Amino acid sequence: MKIDLSGWWSLRLEPECAAEPQHGEIRIPGILQAQGFGEDISLDTPWVSGLHDPLWYQRKEYAFGAENPDGVKVPFLAQPPKHYIGKAWYERSVAVTEECETWTLFIELTRWRSQVWVDGVYQGEDVSLCAAHQIPIHGMKPGIHRITVCIDNSFQYPYRPDGHGVSDALGGTWNGMAGEVALLDEEELEKRSAARLEYAKQHPRNIKVQDGRFWVDGRPEYFRGTHFGGDYPLTGCPSVELDWWRQMMKKVKEWGLNFIRFHSNCPPEAAFAAADEAGVYLQPECGMWNVFSEGIPMLEVLRRETRKILEQFGHHPSFVLFSPTNEPGGSWYGPLKQWVKETRAYDEELGYGGRRVYTAQSGWFYDTEPGKITGTDYLYFHRSAYGPYLGGNIRNSEGWKGKDYAPSLEGASLPVICHELGQWCAYPDFSVIERFTGYLRPGNYEIFRETARKHGLLEKNKELAFCSGKNQVMMYKEDLEADFRTPGLYGFELLDLHDYLGQGTALVGVLDPFWQEKGYVTPQEWKQFCSPLVLLARIPSYVVTSREVMDISLEVCYFGRKKGEIEPVFWSLLEDGREMQTGQTQVDLSAPGKNLDAGSIRLDFRRWKKNTSLVLSVRCRDAENHWDFHVYADPVLKSGRAENPKHPVLYTRTWTEALRGLSKGEAVVYSPYQSALGYQCPPLALKPVFWNAQMGPSWGRTVGLCCEKEHPVFADFPTERWGGWQWEDILNQARGMDMSGFPEELCSMVRPIDDWNRGLPLSMMFECRVGEGRLLVVSACLEGSFSERPAAYSLKQSICRYAASEAFCPTVQVAAEQIENLLFPDFWMREKQPEIRTEGTGGPVSALLDGNPDNAFFIEAEHYPMAVEFHLKQPERAAGMVYLPEQRSRMHEGDIREYRILAKEGDGWRTVLEGEAESGSYLQKFFFAEPVEADGFRLEVLSGYTRPGRMEWMEEKDGWHQRAASAGCRAEFSILSLIPVEKDGRNPAEGENFGQDEVPWKKAVRSKTKEIDD
């Protein structure tokens, strides 16, 4: 018998967990925050998350969220309507009509701990984040009874606060009872148990690992998957609707995938049932992202959650992979090998032996080389820690352009699934805000939209989203094809197919948070490189010259169900849709596998006499794939000054020379040296932000490129709106110019897209008038020979031809001073080599002198003030100081607030400026009332953006705990430099030894953030 307990319950919240006592009625199934209970979101909301800046509201970027009259909006997640952590008491009457010795309170979904009283008598409790709570109730005779349930969604064990079963990142801290809530008698429990066993018999499954591969029901298999963190933006709690999960499975298969990994969470029954129907494989995890070491209590918690999952869901044929945890901490290898052994044995005890395989963890490398790993059925990581690639990477650019990740997996005998592949960002389309019609609120998107509005970018939103999205897809294509090419890799898990709403907001999906298409790639396009049959080509470069002949080997990764044979493979090289070269090879598809030889082809590019774009198309059966080539013909014009009898053009790297030409009314192309642009001009790259810039901040953080492809400047340099691979070398030697304050109508032909948190209005190429002269500014180094840098060389020639033509006729007037504001002598400190002294601990001094914003200098002490002094070898004249806050710190604990600047006069110091700096990522300039000449300057930090005693999450031996943060004072500087003034008629950015394109920030600097360090 079952007694349904859905309906209205009385609710009472604990006074110590709410600012005021709250009580009322609540609909069950349901969650209290969705029904008006809990606390309003505030600046001090105690979010369960260790991956956000707790003092975010002090930062300039997010002032809109902190000061909004409609209520606080936070930038690091999509927020719930209310927030509540603690005990909530639910109570109602229930009529029992039949005699039963033991009833069981069944709560399909709840958070952490539930306790039950009947008529005031305590009955028991259950604790789980992964499975239904089941609490026996004794002595409940027929009649009317009062049932009281206390749900406590506060931390019960030292889990990491970022696991998806416990964190606010995706709304996991709801309090309530969802899904089925009922009283079940003994007969009903036995019937359900028998039904699970019968279901398993009717839906057999066998999976094993053999010969380094996965075999499912006797057939080799390849797991093409996506991450799912348990985000339910409309309902707030997991959906138990079968149709909801059917739609997800349909979407997963529509995009060529066959697998879902549930990161540190386990879905409800409906997910497994829908996956069974659709033929989608699942890997649930035990709700943990945690510390594991021998002997700690968390091992018993893991054991209990594991058994609950197997008991409730082990009968499902979709449940073929099982992992205990995401990215474990501690000495995890030993105890988690034991977990594999125990879990396999318990599965067999339940009668489910052979239905799934087990991995010791999802995420980290092991403490031994791949070929010597034991105690796990398969490996699930994103790096091996061995081989020549950084950290043994099996994702990212080491395997792109025809290569693979085999060097990282040398000797591996177990199949490998790549953990959290991709993570490439695209700019948000703010129309998604309208889809937030349920539980979660898009405060994060609203903040980012306001940033775009402030910087004049909102009207360009659709273009920014589209172009960044096309660039994102280019990256994913390379990632996936490298995975398919790599021997030993038999799966991947995208992070994510759809956008991720927490941990800083990671817009890494090609689908939006509601699993809807964004408009820049279709499933059909995506499945060219993500499907059971993928055609692959080992292409070393997509940029070629008309001097080249390229031999390309073709191969196939095939894990389809159709019985195969020797199949023809057709290829074509296309120009504007016309076949220029064609051919045919063949491939043996009689057995599934990867690295199946499909022959080789030869592409002859010598016939092309002009710059052009080509497409290589390869087809087999109903599958097709394609790759873009950018061909550059032998140069026609010489480098340097492009002469035309009627329209001479001055091409220069110095502003002094450019200004001289402009004053004569000339046409000028100005390409400043990379070392001459100011620190408001970040470096560029074709690869976009990885995961997101809140969690992995850096100075360079672009997410794509917008090109005015029809502009005549590109007449000899074909490009797409979003750029393409021909821009990679150019962007790697370029900086984006911050166009804040420039006329809105200015024509910018190349607009890098800055990350949505900082949102700088960048340009890499624009044109204007300065006085009577015509000026084109390009902030990329285009130097180098045609053979060394064919794309850069060809772009330079195209620019010069355009500037020499009648078409070069800009109308927008710009003052010379606006151009000069973009310039700064980045290496002034390195050249002057002042002696650095500090009051308080400080260092490293090299970071203050090298001019590299990706390195940081710090000073710290127990109390303010702190100070840093520059002692110069000779007096220097300065207009002020330039300050760039630490660019790579997630928590921004070193941003300075009140400051005083002093200049040395004899043996004493004179105050020349006092002020208050802003917290944030933007460049700040502190100008003196008038230039000061001195041989010493001192910056005193009088206060900072901090809050003594604030709580932070810390990893300890047994798990994660909240502790009071250090009370010390800290100041951090990515850049702190004097602002030199004009000397001998030269711009300070063009002093001695200024002309450099080899700049220190080009060198890779490893992230401070291990979760996303790639």
Under 8 Å CB-to-CB from 593, ≥6 apart: which residues? Answer: 220, 557, 558, 559
In angstroms, rounded to a whole number, what is the distance separating the alpha carbons of residues 869 and 836?
6
The strand pair at 623-632 and 543-545 is best described as: parallel
CA 504/CA 76 separation, integer angstroms: 4
d(CA 139, CA 888): 61
Cis peptide bond prior to 752, omega within 30° of 0: no
CA distance 634 to 497: 42
The tokens describing 129, both together, are: 């984040």
Residue 707 DSSP label: E
d(CA 268, CA 273): 9
Report the alpha-carbon distance of residue 210 to residue 229 in Å, rounded: 30
The answer to whether the beta carbons of residues 833 and 901 sit under 8 Å apart is: no
pLDDT average per 10 residues of sequence, the chain (1014 residues): 97 77 94 97 95 95 94 98 97 95 97 97 98 96 97 96 96 98 97 98 98 97 98 97 98 98 98 98 96 96 98 98 97 97 98 98 94 97 92 95 97 97 97 98 98 98 98 98 98 97 98 98 98 98 96 98 92 97 97 97 96 98 97 67 62 95 97 96 97 96 97 97 98 98 96 98 98 97 96 97 96 96 93 93 92 95 95 95 96 95 94 98 97 97 88 93 87 96 75 75 61 56
Q: Which residues contact 300 (CB under 8 A, 6 or more apart)?
A: none
Report DSSP state, residue 424: B
C-alpha distances in angstroms, 921 versus 59, 506, 888, 900?
A: 8, 18, 9, 21
Q: How far apart are CA 260 and CA 270, in angstroms?
A: 14
pLDDT of residue 703: 98
For residue 29, say if its preceding peptide bond is cis, omega within 30 degrees of 0: yes
Q: How far is CA 547 from CA 297, 574, 613, 636, in A?
A: 67, 18, 15, 14
Tokens of 590: 């009689």
Paired tokens of 75: 């930038």
Calpha distance 416→405 (Å, rounded): 11
* Structure tokens, 306: 């594991």
The answer to whether the beta carbons of residues 854 and 699 sit under 8 Å apart is yes
Tokens of 721: 């709106």
Contact 399, 409 (CB under 8 A): no
Residues 748, 751, 753: CA angle, nearest 5 degrees: 155
Give dist(CA 536, CA 615) in Å, integer: 14
- Chain centre to alpha carbon of residue 765: 28
DSSP state of 805: S
DSSP for residue 393: B
Q: How are strands ordered across the β-sheet holding 87-96?
A: 23-28, 7-13, 87-96, 143-152, 113-118, 121-127
DSSP string, 737-794: EE-TTS-TT-EEEEEEEE-TTT--BEESEEEEEETTEEEEEE-B---S-TTT-HHHHH
Distance CA 28, CA 88 (A): 13
What's the longest Cα–Cα distance across the chain? 106
The CA distance from 114 to 89, in Å, is 10
By CB neighbour count within 10 A (0-12 exposed, 13-18 middle, 19+ buried), where does 278 fall? middle
How open is the CA angle 254-257-259, to the nearest 5 degrees?
130
Q: Which helix (H) or strand (E) covers residue 800, if one does?
A: helix 790-803
Residue 641: strand, helix, or coil: coil
- Please state, in angstroms and rounded to a whole number, the distance separating the CA atoms of residues 450 and 501: 18
Positive or negative: CA dihedral 304, 309, 315, 320: negative
How many angstroms separate the CA atoms of 270 and 246, rounded? 9
d(CA 2, CA 98): 10
Cβ(721)–Cβ(709) under 8 Å? yes
461, 424 Cβ separation under 8 angstroms: no
Partners of 89 in the beta sheet? 12, 150
Sorted by sequence, the CB contacts under 8 Å of residue 856 that are 6+ apart come out as: 847, 886, 887, 888, 889, 894, 972, 973, 974
Q: What is the CA radius of gyration of the chain?
A: 31
Tell me the pairing of strands 489-494 and 223-228.
Answer: parallel
Closest to 485 in 3D by CA, of 397, 557, 381: 557
Report the candidate in 339, 377, 356, 308 with the shortest Cα–Cα distance to residue 130: 308
Distance CA 210, CA 204 (A): 19
Alpha-carbon distance of 958 to 579, in angstroms, equals 64
What are the tokens at 1011? 């979760």
Distance CA 689, CA 427 (A): 10
Distance CA 547, CA 552 (A): 16
Using DSSP, state whether 243 is helix, strand or coil. helix
CA–CA distances in Å: residue 204 to residues 276, 431, 731: 11, 45, 54
Phi then psi for residue 983, to 5 deg, are -135, 130
Residues of the chain by 3-state class (helix, strand, coil), percent to 5: 20, 35, 45
Residue given tokens 């055609």 in the structure block: 535
Q: How far apart are the first and last CA of the chain?
A: 55
Dist CA 72 CA 54 (whole Å): 14
Q: Which residues pair with 571 in a beta bridge?
A: 583, 618
pLDDT of res. 644 = 45
Task: Tell me the HSE value of 161 on the side-chain side, using a 13 A CA sphere.
Answer: 23
Neighbours of 361 (CB within 10 A): 26
Amino acid at 54: P
